[in-house]
Amino acid sequence: MIGERGLARYRTIIPRWREFVDACTRPLPVTIRVNTLRASPRDVRDRLTRKGFSLIPIAWSEDLFRVETPRVSKTIEHWLGMFYIQEAVQTLPVRVLSPQPGETILDMAAAPGGKCTHIASCMRNRGALIANEPVGKRQPSLMANINRLGVLNTTVTSYRGESFPMHARFDRVLLDAPCSAEGTLRKESTLRDGATRSAIARLSRLQQRLILRAYDLLKPGGTLVYSTCTFAPEENEGTVSHLLSKRDALLDQITLPFPAERGIIAWNDEEYAPEVARCARIYPHQIDSGGGFIARLRKPAR
């Protein structure tokens, strides 16, 4: 059931509401992202197929497969870091970030490391990646994933993102923000009622501080990707509008490899910066995965 007091408040902004509700109550498909630092998509597909797993390619990404057979985490290929079990929607922010070998990149909120290890594989382990995670109990999983996937260009730090030191500037920053996580409701059924208003308000205040620091840490001409796994406009378009009102950031139009919804420019009594229509909203019924929001911003080159 989708609770009337929670997610139903999005009824006017989520297209094909009935399909959305149906998708939210179906189990989340298991997908794996091939770690190209360790193996090719063909290696992984052949090895797992020989072991009896059924792998279905995801049309819009050659590194992604849907796995129909349970227990893929128990294979030697998983332990060797040849793939990472990751929701398809969670691979999109790094795709939009487009990391390049040799760059200097900050992943400001990194644990457990799904996107950090993806960034490192796009960088082909060249350049410097800072994986920041302030919550101590989440750091072991981040470090374990970095080791398991053979990531060699990464240093782990533990600052609160909003006070990350300003000693260095980055070519790209990913802020995959702490959020109310409503888009993960297919694996966490307690979220089907949506997040509480007080949690959303608290998180959006934190996100506003984080996005300002993330932007300030960019080199001129640098790129910031802001992503969440929630539907709440206060945490998505609201946070991006806050940055646009405080800094000279440029917001890019996002194009994904499948049709996605645009950011919304008004919600209840709130109006957001009109440019936020360039952001992307992804819903579970549109790609049979979780939900999310992505914005890509640039700092003007001087």
Tell me the catalytic residues: 229
Dihedral of CA atoms 267, 174, 113, 280 in degrees, nearest 10, equals 40
Nearer to ligand SAM, 49 or 141 (CB): 141
Per-position DSSP letters for 85-107, written without gaps between them: E--GGGGHHHHHH---TT-EEEE
Q: At 140, phi and psi to the nearest 5?
A: -60, -40
Nearer CB in complex with ligand SAM: 107/237: 107
Q: Which is nearer to ligand SAM, 90 or 153 (CB)?
A: 90
Please say which residue, 174 or 273, places its beta carbon nearer to ligand SAM.
174
Query: What is residue 228's DSSP assignment?
Result: E
**How near is the Cβ of 160 to ligand SAM at its closest, in Å?**
4
Q: Which is nearer to ligand SAM, 162 or 193 (CB)?
A: 162
Q: Output the smallest distance, CB 116 to ligand SAM, in A.
A: 7
DSSP code for 93: H
Smallest separation (angstroms) from ligand SAM to the CB of 158: 9
**Dist. CA 39–CA 203, nearest whole Å:** 38
CB of residue 283 vs ligand SAM: minimum separation in angstroms? 18
- 271 class by beta-carbon count within 10 Å (0-12 exposed, 13-18 middle, 19+ buried): exposed
Sites of contact with ligand SAM (CB under 6 A):
90, 108-115, 133-135, 138, 160-162, 176, 178, 210
Nearer Cβ to ligand SAM, position 198 or 268? Answer: 198
Note whether 179 and 203 are within 8 A (CB).
Answer: yes
Taking the mean position of all CA atoms in its chain, how far away is CA 216?
20
The C-alpha atoms of residue 15 and residue 122 are separated, in whole angstroms, by 33
Q: What Rg do the C-alpha atoms of the chain give, in angstroms? A: 19
Element (H, E) at 43: helix 41-50
Residue 153 identity (one-letter amino acid)? N
Write down the number of H helices and E strands in the chain: 9, 15
Q: Measure the CA–CA gap between 244 and 253, rounded to whole angstroms.
A: 15
**Nearest distance from residue 159's CB to ligand SAM, in Å?**
7
Question: Could you tell me which of 3, 29, 50, 15 has the C-alpha nearest to residue 288?
Answer: 29
Residue 230 C-beta: closest distance to ligand SAM, Å: 9
Q: How far apart are CA 149 and CA 235, in angstroms?
A: 31
> What is the phi/psi pair of residue 64, to 5°?
-115, 135
